[in-house]
Structure 1
Amino acid sequence: MDIETGELTGTAAAVEAQITTWLIGPARRSCTPVEIVNGLVERLVGAGIPLWRVRIAQQVANPLIAAWGAMWTRDAGAELYTVPRGMLRTNSFYGSPFEHVIKTRTKFRKSLARLEAGRDHEVLFELAAAGGTEYLALPVEYGDGSVQASAFTTDRPDGFHDEEALLIERLMPALAAAMEPAAMRHSMASLLEVYLGTGPAGRVAGGAFHRGAMTEIDAVVMLTDLRGFTDLSERLAPDRLLQRLGAYFEIVVEAVRSEGGDVLKFIGDGVLALFSVDGAAQPEACARAVRSTTRAFTRNTDPELRFVSAIHMGPVVYGNIGSLDRLDFTVVGPTVNYVSRLESAAKLLDKPAICSAAVARWLPASMVESLGHHQLKGFSDPQMLYELKTAS
Structure 2
Amino acid sequence: MDEAGISAIADWTVRRGLAGDDEITLLNGFCERCVDAGLEIARGLAIIDTLHPVYEGRVFSWSSDKPVETPVSPYAPMSLGGYAAESWKNSPFYHLLQTGEDELRQRLDEQGEQTFPVMAELRDEGQTDWLAMIQRFDKEAAIGEMDCFMSRWTTTRPGGFTDDDIATLRRLVPVLGLAIKSTSLARVAQSLAEAYLGRDPGRRVLEGRVTRGEAERINAAIWFSDMQGYTKLSESIDSDQLIPFLNDYAEIVITAVHGAGGDVLKLMADGVLAIFTADGPAEACAAALRAETDMRRRHAELNLRRVASGQPVSSIYLGLHTGDVFYGNIGSKDRLDFTVVGQAVNETSRIASMCRSADRDVLFSLDFRDALPPLERDRLVSVGRYALRGVGRAQELFTLDPDTASP
TM class by shorter chain equals 0.7 to 0.9
Q: Check if 1:161 corresponds to 2:151.
A: no
Q: How many residues align?
A: 380
Supply the distance in 1 between the matched residues of 2:93 and 2:326 (Cα, whole angstroms).
Answer: 46
Q: Check if 1:373 corresponds to 2:385.
A: yes
Q: Which residue of 1 aligns with 2:94?
A: 99
Tell me, what secondary structure is at the counterpart of 2:87?
coil
Any unmatched runs of 5+ in structure 1? 1-10
Q: Which residue of 2 aligns with 1:289?
A: 291
The superposition leaves residues 300-359 of structure 1 with CA deviations (integer Å, 9 ceiling, x where unpaired) of 223522222222233332222222222222221223212211210122222222223333
Q: Which residue of 2 aligns with 1:385?
A: 397
Residue 108 (structure 1) aligned to one of 99, 104, 110: 104
Q: Which residue of 2 aligns with 1:218?
A: 219
Residues 223 and 38 of structure 1, relative CA distance in 2, 3 Å threshold = farther
Residue 38 (structure 1) aligned to one of 14, 22, 28: 28
Q: Greater CA deviation, 194-203 or 99-108?
A: 99-108
Contact kept, 8 Å, 2:259 with 2:291, in 1: the verdict is no
Residues 197 and 147 of structure 1, relative CA distance in 2, 3 Å threshold = same
| Superposed displacement of residue 254, structure 1 | 2.6
Q: Which residue of 2 aligns with 1:300?
A: 302
| Superposed displacement of residue 119, structure 1 | 5.6
Q: Which residue of 1 aligns with 2:134?
A: 139
| Superposed displacement of residue 20, structure 1 | 1.4
* Aligned positions of 1:351-370 closer than 5 A: 351-360=360-369, 361-362=372-373, 364=376, 367-370=379-382
Residues 159 and 284 of structure 1, relative CA distance in 2, 3 Å threshold = farther
| Superposed displacement of residue 192, structure 1 | 0.9
Q: Which residue of 1 aligns with 2:75?
A: 83
Q: Could you tell me the TM-score, scaled by structure 2's length?
A: 0.80
Q: Which residue of 1 aligns with 2:49?
A: 59
| Superposed displacement of residue 18, structure 1 | 1.1
Tell me, what secondary structure is at the counterpart of 1:93?
helix
Supply the distance in 2 between the matched residues of 1:333 and 1:125 (Cα, whole angstroms).
Answer: 65
The superposition leaves residues 270-319 of structure 1 with CA deviations (integer Å, 9 ceiling, x where unpaired) of 11223332347336533443344334323322352222222223333222
Contact kept, 8 Å, 1:28 with 1:177, in 2: the verdict is no
Q: In the alignment, residue 38 of structure 1 is paired with which amino acid?
A: N
Contact kept, 8 Å, 1:87 with 1:93, in 2: the verdict is no
Q: Greater CA deviation, 19-28 or 78-87?
A: 78-87
| Superposed displacement of residue 195, structure 1 | 0.3
The superposition leaves residues 250-274 of structure 1 with CA deviations (integer Å, 9 ceiling, x where unpaired) of 2222333333332221113111223
Residues 366 and 133 of structure 1, relative CA distance in 2, 3 Å threshold = farther
Supply the distance in 2 between the matched residues of 1:67 and 1:203 (Cα, whole angstroms).
Answer: 25
Q: Which residue of 1 aligns with 2:310?
A: none
Q: In the alignment, residue 371 of structure 1 is paired with which amino acid?
A: V
The superposition leaves residues 216-256 of structure 1 with CA deviations (integer Å, 9 ceiling, x where unpaired) of 33332222211111221221222222221122222222333
Contact kept, 8 Å, 1:289 with 1:311, in 2: the verdict is no
Contact kept, 8 Å, 2:230 with 2:270, in 1: the verdict is yes
Any unmatched runs of 5+ in structure 2? 308-312
Supply the distance in 1 between the matched residues of 2:331 and 2:173 (Cα, whole angstroms).
Answer: 43
Supply the distance in 2 between the matched residues of 1:332 and 1:100 (Cα, whole angstroms).
Answer: 53
Q: Could you tell me the TM-score, scaled by structure 1's length?
A: 0.82
| Superposed displacement of residue 164, structure 1 | 3.7
**Between the two proteins, what is the percent identity of the paired residues?**
31
Report the RMSD for the aligned CA atoms in angstroms: 3.4
Supply the distance in 1 between the matched residues of 2:272 and 2:285 (Cα, whole angstroms).
Answer: 22
Tell me, what secondary structure is at the counterpart of 2:356?
helix
Q: In the alignment, residue 10 of structure 2 is paired with which amino acid?
A: T
Residues 97 and 221 of structure 1, relative CA distance in 2, 3 Å threshold = farther
Q: Check if 1:340 corresponds to 2:330.
A: no
Q: Which residue of 1 aligns with 2:338?
A: 329
Residue 5 (structure 2) aligned to one of 6, 15, 21: 15
Residues 120 and 334 of structure 1, relative CA distance in 2, 3 Å threshold = same
| Superposed displacement of residue 67, structure 1 | 1.8
Contact kept, 8 Å, 1:312 with 1:339, in 2: the verdict is yes
Supply the distance in 1 between the matched residues of 2:377 and 2:94 (Cα, whole angstroms).
Answer: 59
The superposition leaves residues 140-197 of structure 1 with CA deviations (integer Å, 9 ceiling, x where unpaired) of 233537322123355x475853344442332122123323332222211111111012
Contact kept, 8 Å, 1:115 with 1:125, in 2: the verdict is no
Tell me, what secondary structure is at the counterpart of 2:6?
helix
Q: Greater CA deviation, 270-279 or 83-92?
A: 83-92
Q: In the alignment, residue 217 of structure 1 is paired with which amino acid?
A: I
Q: Greater CA deviation, 49-58 or 249-258?
A: 49-58
Supply the distance in 1 between the matched residues of 2:126 and 2:348 (Cα, whole angstroms).
Answer: 57
Q: Which residue of 1 aligns with 2:18?
A: 28
Contact kept, 8 Å, 2:107 with 2:160, in 1: the verdict is no
Contact kept, 8 Å, 1:286 with 1:359, in 2: the verdict is no
Residues 185 and 307 of structure 1, relative CA distance in 2, 3 Å threshold = same
Q: In the alignment, residue 332 of structure 2 is paired with which amino acid?
A: S
| Superposed displacement of residue 88, structure 1 | 7.2
Contact kept, 8 Å, 1:100 with 1:106, in 2: the verdict is no
| Superposed displacement of residue 202, structure 1 | 0.9
